[in-house]
Structure 1
């Protein structure tokens, strides 16, 4: 499959967001490295994968969470309510990629 690679500026034009919003608010929260963007040759430049971003933008948040590694697919506000009575609450630290650090 052929992919369309976009710079931050080109992505901003396509989705009508400010470049700063993409860099400061979307990158590493909803746009994940290895899924939505990558750094060619391990450098500083970032290229976004348009087809993946377009597909995920059209899905409801619940569907995106269910395929993000480290999430259960439950809405964020219900995760805390799923603990059994008397069970110890998780003290893990949430990580940018959706996983939890239990260390």
Structure 2
């Protein structure tokens, strides 16, 4: 049975999303990226593997909710 996930180390994820490894570990992990959804600790060990498809889905979801259209009066439309 072939896995439907792409497993990435913190370093590999950092390269893909153009973030520093420390930012991922200190600011994203356990606030935006959640254990069991976006990453796992296989075999109950310290090593963390990120699930690329779940991380990508989260990034796209966040990007879509932040789309704003500038209005002439200086406001924005979130339409």
User: Could you say which TM-score interval applies, normalised by the shorter chain?
Assistant: 0.7 to 0.9
1:82-97 equivalences under 5 Å are: none
Of residues 48, 51, 58 in structure 2, which corresponds to 1:49? 51
The residue that corresponds to 1:40 in the other structure is 42
- Structure 1 residue ranges (4+ consecutive) displaced by more than 2 angstroms after TM superposition: none
Superposition RMSD on alpha carbons, in Å?
Answer: 1.8
Deviation at 1:60, TM superposition (A): 3.1
The residue that corresponds to 1:68 in the other structure is none
The residue that corresponds to 1:29 in the other structure is 31
The residue that corresponds to 1:60 in the other structure is 62
Q: TM-score, normalised by structure 2?
A: 0.74
**Bigger RCO (CA 8 Å, 6+ sep):** 2
The residue that corresponds to 2:73 in the other structure is none
Give unpaired runs (5+ residues) of structure 2.
66-79
Q: TM-score, normalised by structure 1?
A: 0.57
